[in-house]
Amino acid sequence: MAIITNTVSYMDGETVLEAFFAFDDAITERRPAVLIAHMWDGRNSLVAEKAQKLAELGYVGFALDMYGKGVLGTSPEQNMALMQPFMSDRAMLQQRIRAALRAVKLLPWVDDSKIAAIGFCFGGLCVLDLARTGVDIKGVVSFHGLLDVAHNIQDTPIKAKVLALHGYDDPMVSSKQTIDFQNEMTKAGADWQLHSYGHTLHGFTNPAATDPDSGAFYNTTADRRSWLSMQNFLTEIFA
């Protein structure tokens, strides 16, 4: 097994974006692809690592770019400035992530009938919004994602299976938002699951989250459990 990594540029309108992807070149046939949506700071080393781990599982890991080639935040203030336009304009967010879906389908190693998407924090919202658009992909997984309902999309059936992995003590997602999310998924006809991890804050998969006073803190157990849940989910939807 040799994991090959590279980057590829793609476009959303006039915005140049750059994804990082990984695959195992010992596999000769086309294989499923998993999009990976980053946190609020941009496409960083964390999602690149996830792409490589997914490649080791036999998938093409495709760490997408929501902000633009080379654009990364370096402070909470910069991160918020990058994320907020997409939070305020969900149609723009949905268009941006659909550009990544088009791009991954062009990779020669990808079976474009078997595509899923995972995302972390802001990226969790992004992949949920991808599902909300009604695209014909196999499934999406949100890790400690924002669960805000997308009010710009009404009565669109959700075809993708949905798995939301959530910290019960996450201060960035209220109990009402969790209930509203479940009601939204049910109304849209989605095959959905929500796993809630007790005594777990926001950012539980991110080893750099070390300040519980901010509401985000790495949790080794929840990280391990959520990754296993994702693996089982991918095995199911790609069968």
Instruction: Name the CA radius of gyration of the chain, rounded.
Output: 16
**Residue 222 resides in a domain:** yes
Look at residue 38 in the predicted model and tell me its pLDDT: 98
pLDDT for the residue numbered 185: 97
Among 28, 46, 29, smallest CA distance to 37 is for 46
- Fill in the DSSP letter of residue 213: G
Domain presence at residue 1: no
CATH no. for residue 74? 3.40.50.1820
Q: 0.85 cut: is pTM over it?
A: yes
Per the structure, the count of domains in the chain is 1
Averaged pLDDT in 10-residue chunks for the chain of 239 residues: 95 98 96 98 97 98 98 96 97 98 98 98 98 98 96 92 98 96 96 98 96 95 98 98
Domain that holds residue 93: 9-237
In one letter, which amino acid is 213?
D
**pLDDT for residue 154:** 82
Judge contact between 98 and 132, C-beta under 8 A.
Answer: no
